Amino acid sequence: MLRKIAICAAAVAGPLFTGASASAQDHPAAFFSAIFNQSGSSSGRPQENPVPRETVQYSSRFAPGTIVISTKERRLYYVLGNGQAIRYGVGVGRPGFTWAGSKAVTRKAEWPAWTPPPQMLKRRPDLPRHMKGGPDNPLGARALYLGSSLYRIHGSNEPWTIGQAVSSGCIRMTNADVTDLYERVRVGTRVVVMN
């Protein structure tokens, strides 16, 4: 029986790592559901977004277009300016996997593929070496790649994990929310993560 855990689909416990290549293979959706589901509903079915997206008052020193993530609040703010931001609920790193700092979005991808890094495979040798993008992929509908790290802001096919500390450092959003953010963000956007 597979251990039920929730992991970031791409990141590991440190901010800077190199990726690994592996041959592509297909894996059943049920396999990934068992691996990535830790805190689902009692029925096992996805729930609506527990933290709806909304425009809020937000005074900060950050320029419009900056992404600010509060790990403590488990919220992501997209700064609009004029004292406002769009606030999204996010899933963050579990204890021991949180991080803080400033990065830039270096790449954007729709329905990204996933290759677990060597550090994650060491902890979880049962994981696939590669998974093509699509609805069953744990990176979800969109991914924003952060600097030279393996951390991502990415979608999730597990909306019940939003507002939870469940990943290995990546920032999870519902697929609807990450798609909304993806359309607003350009490569080069500053991302500030605060504990």
- How many Cβ atoms sit within 10 Å of the Cβ of residue 194? 12
Annotated catalytic residue: which of 8, 27, 130, 170? 170
189 phi-psi bin (left φ>0, alpha ψ -120 to 50, beta other): beta
Annotation says 154 is catalytic: yes
Which residue matches tokens 């204890």?
95
Token match 């290759």: residue? 115
Question: Which residue's structure tokens are 């703010």?
Answer: 77
Instruction: Please tell me which residue in 8, 27, 130, 154 is annotated as part of the active site.
Output: 154
Active site residue 8: no
Distance of CA 127 to the CA centre of its chain: 18
Catalogue the active-site residues.
154, 170
